[in-house]
Structure 1
Amino acid sequence: MELLVELQKRIPDGWFMRRLLPATLFVMAAVVGGGQLGQRHWNDLGLARESIAGGLRLSGGLSADGVASLVLVAVAILAAAFVVPLAAGAIGALASGAWPWWLMPLARRVTAWRVRRWAHPDELGRQSVRARAAGRHLRADRLDARRARTERAAPGSPTWSGDRLRATEEHVGRESGSDIASDWTKVLLSADDIPRTALSETRAAYDAACEALAWSAAFTILGAWWWPAAAVGVLLWPAGWLSLRRAVEALCRTTEAVFALAATDPATPTVSP
C-alpha cells in the first residue's frame, strides 16, 4: 500500500491510480474473464488461476511467444490508459451540455423531457407539507430531497450539470461583470496560489468523475463476453454519477469565489466586462 501511495506522489496528476491501475484491471478482466472464462465458465476460479499463472510463469526463460504476449498486454494496458481519458472528455462535454450539432435533435428532446418533469422548489415544498399532513412521510421525505436538488429556474440544457454551469456563468456575469469563457485565463494567471490550487483540484475531480463513468461504460460493454464485468460497470455508474454532481457543484462554487475575489482584489488586473 505504501508503494502505491509513493507511486501516486511521484506520477503527476495521480496518473497511476486514476488511469494505469484501472487499465490494468480492465485488460486482465478482458483477457481472463472475456478471453478464457466466458459466459459458460464465468465463475471457474481454477481456470482463472491457471490462466494467470500461465501468463506469469517465467521458469526456463521467456519464449518468443511469451515475450510477444507480454508486449501485447502492455500495449493494451497503455492504450486503455490513454483512450479512456479521451472518452472521458466526450462524457465531460455531454455532461456540460456542449452537445455536438449532430446530437442537437436528441438534446432538444431530452431538454423538453426535463422541462416537463421539472417543478418549482416552492411547489415541491407545498406538496411535501400536504403529504406530511396526510401521514405520507416517505413521500414527503422524497419530495424534500427532490426540492433540495432542484434549481429554481426551468431546465435549459439536456443535463443538470449544464444547467449548473450556465447558472454559474450568469451569476459571475451579474456579480463581477466578467465573462468566464473570455476571462478565465486572465483570472487564473493573476490568482494567488490557494485559489489556483482550488480550481485545479476541482477541475481534476470533474475529470476523474468523467473517467469513472468511462470505465463504467467499458466494463459494462465487456459484460457481453463475461457478465460479472457488467455488474462491476453497473455498480460504478451511480458512484461516478454522484461524484460528477459533487465535482460540478464544487467547481461552480470555487469558480464563483475566485471571480469574486478577482473583482474585489485591487492587486488583481481588472477583468473586462
Structure 2
Amino acid sequence: MIDALLGELGRRLTDRWLTRAVGPGLLWCAIAAYAIAPARRSTFDVHGAVLAAAKGLDHLIHQVSLGVVCGLLTVAVAAAAAAVATGAGALARFVWLGRWPGPSRPLATLLTTRRRAAAERRLAARRRALPAVYLPDRPTWIADRIRLTEDRVAAQYGLRLGLIWPRLWLLLAPEDRIHVTQARDRFDRSGDVAGWALLYAVLALWWWPAVLAGVLLAVIAWWRARTSAALFADVVEATVDLRHRALVTELGFAVAPGHPLDPATADAINDLLHKGGSGYEQVPSLPVPQPVPPSAPPPAPPSAPKESRASPVEPRTQEA
C-alpha cells in the first residue's frame, strides 16, 4: 500500500536529478583522476598531482578543440558516475524499505525475528507493554517506521492509506504538497549519498584513503535516511489527520463535526476506492441533514353553527 504513496511522489522528483548530480559527479571525477594519476609518487603527493594537472591545462590551452573534447568527456563521465550513484542509491532505499524478495527473504525473516526479540527484551526490562502492531515487523527500522504510518491510520480511522492517498493528494493545496515533497526529497537524497559512498569505496582499489570517504558518506547516508524517513512518515500522517474529512465529504459520505469517522463508513470508502475488491459491502452515502424551514400553523377546524334561541315572549295572535 505504501508503494503507491512513494511511487507517486518519486515521479515528481525526477526533474531535479541533473541539477543535484553534476556537482558531486565532477568532484568524484577530480578525486578519481588523483587516485589513478601516474604522476602521483605517494599516497598524499598533492604537489605532484597539481603539477601534472597544470601541465595538462597548458597543453589544452593551445589546442582548443582538444580542450572542448576533454571538457565534454569530463561532463559525460560525471553524468555517468551520477547515474551509477543514483542507481546504487535506489538499491539502498530498496534495502532500507525492507523489500527483500527471493533469496533474501530468509535473511529478512531472521533480522525481523531478532529485532522483534530485542524490542520485547527492552520492554520487559522497563516493565512496559505495547500493542503487537508497534513491535518490529520488518527487517529494518526505516521499513517499520513507514509501515507503522499505514497501521496507525488504519487503527485510528479505518482507512487504507494506499487507497486514499492518491485522492487526498489531489485535494491538497500547493503549499501543503510542498511539505510532503520536501520530506520525500530528503529521503531520496540520503539514498544518493549512499550511492556515492559506494563509488568512493571503489576508488580504494587505487587510493586507499578513498575508503575513509566511503565509510563517512555511508554513515551520513544512514543517519539522514532514518531522520528523513521519520519526518516523511510524520508529515504524511499529519496530512491524513487534517484532510481526511475533506476527502470523505468529497466522496459523498457524511461525517459529523467533532465525531470520529464511523467504521461502517470507513469500510464503505475502502470498498469504493478498491472498486469492490475489499470484501466489504458498500453502504449508500448518508445524506447530510438539512434544516427544516418553519411551516405555517395548520388552519383551525370549522366551528359548529350556532343554534338560534326562541324568544321567551310568544307573539300575540290576531283575532278574526
Q: TM-score under structure 1 normalisation?
A: 0.76
Structure 1 segment 1-273 matched on structure 2, within 5 A: 13=16, 15-16=18-19, 18-36=20-38, 41-57=42-58, 58-62=60-64, 64=66, 66-119=67-120, 121-125=122-126, 153-265=134-246, 269-270=250-251, 272-273=269-270
Tell me what 1:136 maps to.
Answer: none
Report SS of the residue matched to 1:185: helix
Deviations 1:14-54 (A, max 9, x none): 743x311111111111122134477x621001222023324
Any stretches of 5+ residues in structure 1 without a counterpart?
1-11, 128-150
Contact preservation (8 Å) 2:88, 2:194: no
Deviations 1:122-161 (A, max 9, x none): 435469xxxxxxxxxxxxxxxxxxxxxxx98332111000
Deviations 1:216-262 (A, max 9, x none): 12212221221121111111222211111110110000010111222
Report SS of the residue matched to 2:209: helix
Contact preservation (8 Å) 2:87, 2:195: no
Report SS of the residue matched to 1:226: coil
Q: Which has the higher helix share?
A: 1
CA RMSD of aligned residues (A): 2.7
Specify whether residues 266 and 221 from structure 1 end up closer, same or farther in structure 2 by C-alpha distance, changes over 3 A only: closer
Q: Which amino acid aligns with 2:32?
A: A
Contact preservation (8 Å) 1:262, 1:268: no
Structure 2 CA distance for aligned equivalents of residues 114 and 122 of structure 1: 12
Specify whether residues 107 and 71 from structure 1 end up closer, same or farther in structure 2 by C-alpha distance, changes over 3 A only: same
Higher alpha-carbon Rg: 2
Structure 2 CA distance for aligned equivalents of residues 88 and 176 of structure 1: 34
Structure 2 CA distance for aligned equivalents of residues 253 and 19 of structure 1: 28
Structure 2 CA distance for aligned equivalents of residues 116 and 103 of structure 1: 20
Structure 1 CA distance for aligned equivalents of residues 74 and 157 of structure 2: 52
Specify whether residues 266 and 224 from structure 1 end up closer, same or farther in structure 2 by C-alpha distance, changes over 3 A only: closer
Contact preservation (8 Å) 2:133, 2:151: no
Q: Which amino acid aligns with 1:242?
A: W
Contact preservation (8 Å) 1:168, 1:256: yes
Structure 2 CA distance for aligned equivalents of residues 41 and 210 of structure 1: 33
Contact preservation (8 Å) 2:39, 2:48: yes
Work out the number of aligned pairs and report it. Answer: 236
Specify whether residues 166 and 53 from structure 1 end up closer, same or farther in structure 2 by C-alpha distance, changes over 3 A only: same
Q: Which amino acid aligns with 2:157?
A: S
**Highest RCO, 1 vs 2 (Cα 8 Å, sep ≥ 6):** 1
Percent of aligned positions that are identical: 26
Structure 1 CA distance for aligned equivalents of residues 23 and 57 of structure 2: 18
Deviations 1:175-213 (A, max 9, x none): 233222232221111112232111000000000111111
Contact preservation (8 Å) 1:27, 1:73: yes
Q: TM-score under structure 2 normalisation?
A: 0.66
Contact preservation (8 Å) 1:37, 1:43: no
